[in-house]
Amino acid sequence: MDVESNAEPPPVDQWDESKIFSEALRQGVAVKADEVRRCLWLECDNAAVSGSKYCSYECGKKLAHERLVRLAPYIIEDGEKFSFIKENYKKEIETLKGVCRTKLENMNKAAECAKMLVGFITQQLPLEYDDKENGSNASRKDYILCMCCGENLEAPLYGNHITKCLNRKEREAYYGSEEKGNLLLNILCERYSSRFNSYCKRFKIICPEHPCNDIDDELKVCSYPDSFDDAIRKDGGFFFLTFSPQFFKGPFCTNGYGTCPDHPNWYRYTLAVIDAYRFGELEKLNEARTMIGKYNTFINTRGNVFNSISSKQVLEKFYKDSINNCPKTLRKEEVKKEIDPSGDAGNKIKLIHPDAEAISDAEED
């Protein structure tokens, strides 16, 4: 089709399609004609607009409304089947919230116990070790209680046992991780190793690879309270929960700290046991929070309108019932017109049916 460059193109309805196709064929251009599709609205016979399934926006709205009306019984049924599960999950959430509160209280209580122990050691720092009074730091016990598990051990075996006992608790926290942990609690070492590209996850207070300084570095007297043994016999690895201001006012060991054969490194081991307890409670707290998040996600996403509309099961049930010519329908409640006791028939009554138009008195508006 020869058209002058300065001439305006003819209107679309005046185009000669035969000339356009022959010119395209001459130039070797493949022309793909758009298929004429009927508008999807059931009562419309017009052709759909190019790039759309409907002839107009109104037809699309009508079909969407009709689809929702037809699917409404199935959407409601799909949402109701989750109601029982949601109620159970809500009860589980309340239980888990109680678990979270308990774990937080336990962690705070253990932290207070650690503070009391640190305060006791701080009071013992001015004491000087007397060699003449204590002799050569001879052992006074045949058996020593493990403060980690409460087992009664022979004195020569205590050093190896307490190390292995604490290592078992450390394995719960892993020895290395590529992610940094919670620094607020200050439980794990968290020193970065460029060689292994990971953070150390051993207990900070007793980490042999990355020793840290603490107040016991200046402690000269062992100061192991005699009340520790009684508490360990009663509560095993949870003896520290019995700490109180009166707990540390009794007699204590007067051997040299660091050289006492009966209580080697007892202060740091005690803090490690407390940190192990806090870390375990923190893990349980995180597990409870994770479950609460999963339950809340289920409650907020399952059985709602959007998910029920897009549910494959809802569509399959609707198609099956439609093929069998027995689709479900909503039960429409009959709204009875209320009679005004005063006999004023001019008052309008607002209808509660979703499809009804809300009507109110003009004077009130």
The per-residue pLDDT of the chain, averaged, comes to: 77
On whether the CB atoms of residues 270 and 216 are closer than 8 A, the answer is no
Q: Where are the beta strands (DSSP E) in the chain?
A: 143-145, 152-154, 176-177, 192-193, 198-200
**pLDDT at residue 339, as a whole number:** 44
Q: What angle do CA 205, 208, 213 make, to 5 degrees?
A: 45
pLDDT tens digit sequence for 4-43 = 555 666 665 566 767 777 877 788 777 666 677 888 888 8
pLDDT tens digit sequence for 66-105 = 888 888 888 888 778 788 888 899 999 999 999 999 999 9
Tokens of 294: 């999963």
pLDDT of 336 above 60 = no
What secondary structure letter does DSSP report for 347? -
pTM: 0.62
Q: How far is CA 326 from CA 22, 49, 110, 137, 329, in A?
A: 54, 34, 66, 94, 9
Tokens of 122: 């701080």
Q: How far is CA 212 from CA 43, 75, 114, 217, in A?
A: 81, 62, 17, 10
One-letter amino acid of 268? R
**pLDDT at residue 333, as a whole number:** 44
pLDDT tens digit sequence for 291-325 = 999 999 988 887 777 777 777 888 888 888 888 88
pLDDT average, residue stretch 235-249:
82
Upper half-sphere CA count for residue 346 (Cβ side, 13 Å): 4
pLDDT band at 355 (very low <50, low <70, confident <90, very high): very low
